[in-house]
Amino acid sequence: MQRAILLQTEATSAKQRVLSAFEQAATAEVNRLLSERGNYKRFNDFWRGIGSDSKRLTGFNIQVVCDLARSTWRKQKGCERVDGVTVKFNLPRNCKTFKTKEFTFVELGLVPKRRVAVPIRKNRNWERFNNLLAAGWKCKTFGLTPNLELVVYLSKNEDEVPRRKNVLGVDVNSKCFALSIISPKGKVLKQTYLGKDIWARRRKIFERKSLLRSYADRGDPSAQKKLDRAKHGEHNFVKNRVGEVIRDITNLALNYDADVAIENLKRFSSKGKRFNRQVMRIPFYTFRMNLEQRCFDKGIALNIVDSWHTSKWCPHCGAVGKGHDGANYSLFRCKECGLVVNSDRKASLAVAVKSLLERGSSPNQITSLSLSGRRVPVNGLLRCPNAIGNNVAVQLDSQLNGKPTSFSCG
């Protein structure tokens, strides 16, 4: 597990000028390397072609030159220019830390035989950094950002987390986070929603941003500043609320002795301008990264399940339909049994059921799962590799390793 923390500095004006000149030179070097990257197909050839020239032109330490070359090679092929770059310094060869009575310093090796000691501001991020070090996290790299702040990169070995009794499934959508907690026998222990206020607050922000954007297009100079503040405020609000939702999810998982399961969502296909706007507003990446770290800190297993048919599967009769109701996107309507239920709550239940079914090392170890008195097949909720290696849906009485098995859910 890895994580990064941003540390503010209290460097003097003279040190800030030195760091600023170094950042400008590093950015210029990356832009030069980007112009030459197209001539090479492999990184080894790229490094042999530019390594000596980059060292001679910049005068940086060889570790800094290597890091700039790697970061340049990892950028997207369409990238032709950058406005800033974060330069990494490895401990202990090109970076070290020391303390005085007043400050803690990070000494960065910019060029051979020249180091700059940057004092760290003692704020909440600094306390969080020290707490993580006390908890067993290790720091091996610091990074200097274009804003002359320091990023500390921490790592910790991922020990095997013991499996808990129940499963908490989470469905992430544009308006809320739907949760379902089920027992190993399929009994629903709790269902709830979190973060409903995020969409309500963002809708008001969208209306204000739209109004300010119209004023800015007419040439109002103050409207652009207000628009930038609104964007910054929206970003901070979503980030803070997502963190609070993750805190509530992990607390529920601890209270109900449950593992956490989420979908492995990938790129969405285009379904219209309005739908695309709503989907792109889902903070799924931020939610997943923060949830992984919080679950790791609290010793909760996080299961990433396939999103195959989680929105189309009926938990009452097991049929696989088209998913959302055409008249109301927030509802799921089953054409086989007539079940009408909230689509987000049903999807979170499907995520929990799928995680529970995948607990065994192979599908053969799963006999049945009962959600109610009726017993019906889990139709296409699981996928497993067949003998050829392709993904196929697990059906009722499917042939796996020559043995018929039955997956039931009712």
Average pLDDT of span 19-30: 92
Q: What is the pTM of this model?
A: 0.66
Q: Does residue 117 belong to any structural domain of this protein? A: yes
Average pLDDT of span 380-408: 38
Please, what is the average pLDDT of the chain?
79
Residue among 248, 261, 255 nearest 189 (CA): 255
Looking at 253, 285, 317, the residue that finishes a domain is 285
Domain extent, residue 49, equals: 2-155
Q: Does residue 380 belong to any structural domain of this protein? A: no
Q: Does residue 48 belong to any structural domain of this protein? A: yes
One domain for residues 194 and 227: yes
Looking at 256, 285, 314, the residue that finishes a domain is 285
Strand partners, 60: none
Q: Does residue 24 belong to any structural domain of this protein? A: yes
Looking at 133, 155, 177, the residue that finishes a domain is 155
pLDDT exceeds 50 at position 370: no
Lowest pLDDT segment from 79-93, 303-317, 345-359: 303-317
pLDDT exceeds 50 at position 376: no
Give tens-digit pLDDT for 123-144: 899 998 888 888 888 888 999 9
| Number of domains forming the structure of the chain | 2
Residue 92, preceding peptide bond in cis (omega within 30° of 0):
yes
Q: Does residue 309 belong to any structural domain of this protein? A: no
Give tens-digit pLDDT for 157-213: 766 678 888 999 998 877 788 999 998 887 889 999 998 888 888 888 888 888 888
One domain for residues 183 and 208: yes
Residue among 363, 380, 365 nearest 310 (CA): 380
Q: Does residue 335 belong to any structural domain of this protein? A: no
**Contact criterion met (CB below 8 Å) for 109 and 94:** yes
